[in-house]
């Protein structure tokens, strides 16, 4: 497993220790969980921002968010995003689903 190193403020180090205690995990496991959850959140944030500006399609937003189109549509609904789903995108997504 690759190793990643980062310097953090004392406050963050204390938070990691406190959350590790809450979870009953060691600090390394807590950091892995926090990183995984944080990265998932960041992916969704970027997908939302790019979708809102019209920079990406529904399928592209789903790919950025690392989820299915159905999951993305639910995220978009939860965030009150207007879905700009063209017939071409629907056809592309349908083709993608049937190719699997």
Tokens of 53: 């500006």
Domain that holds residue 87: 10-99
Task: Tell me whether residue 15 is in a domain.
Answer: yes
Tokens of 91: 């056809």
Task: Tell me whether residue 5 is in a domain.
Answer: no
Task: Tell me whether residue 2 is in a domain.
Answer: no
Task: Tell me whether residue 1 is in a domain.
Answer: no
Task: Tell me whether residue 63 is in a domain.
Answer: yes
Q: What is the pLDDT of residue 92?
A: 78
Q: What is the pLDDT of residues 3-60, one digit of tens each?
A: 999 999 999 999 999 999 999 999 999 999 999 999 999 999 999 999 999 899 889 9
Provide, rounded to the nearest whole percent, the portion of the chain with pLDDT above 70. Answer: 94
Task: Tell me whether residue 3 is in a domain.
Answer: no
Task: Tell me whether residue 40 is in a domain.
Answer: yes
The DSSP code sequence of 41-100 is HHHHHHHHHHHHTTSS-HHHHHHHHTS-HHHHHHHHHHTTPPP---HHHHHHHHHHHHH-
pLDDT band at 84 (very low <50, low <70, confident <90, very high): low
Q: How many domains does the chain have?
A: 1
Q: What is the pLDDT of residues 1-12, one digit of tens each?
A: 899 999 999 999
pTM of the model: 0.75
HSE value, Cβ hemisphere, 13 Å, CA-based, for 46? 12
Task: Tell me whether residue 93 is in a domain.
Answer: yes
């Amino acid at each position: 497993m690759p190793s990643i190193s980062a310097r953090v403020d004392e406050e963050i180090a204390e938070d990691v220790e406190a959350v590790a205690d809450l979870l009953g995990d060691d600090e390394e496991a807590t950091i892995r969980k926090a990183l995984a959850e944080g990265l998932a959140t960041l992916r969704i944030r970027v997908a939302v921002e790019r979708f809102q500006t019209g920079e990406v399609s529904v399928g592209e937003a789903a790919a950025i968010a690392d989820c299915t189109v159905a999951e993305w549509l639910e995220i978009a609904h939860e965030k009150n995003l207007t879905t700009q789903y063209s017939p071409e995108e629907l056809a592309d997504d349908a083709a993608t689903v049937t190719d699997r």
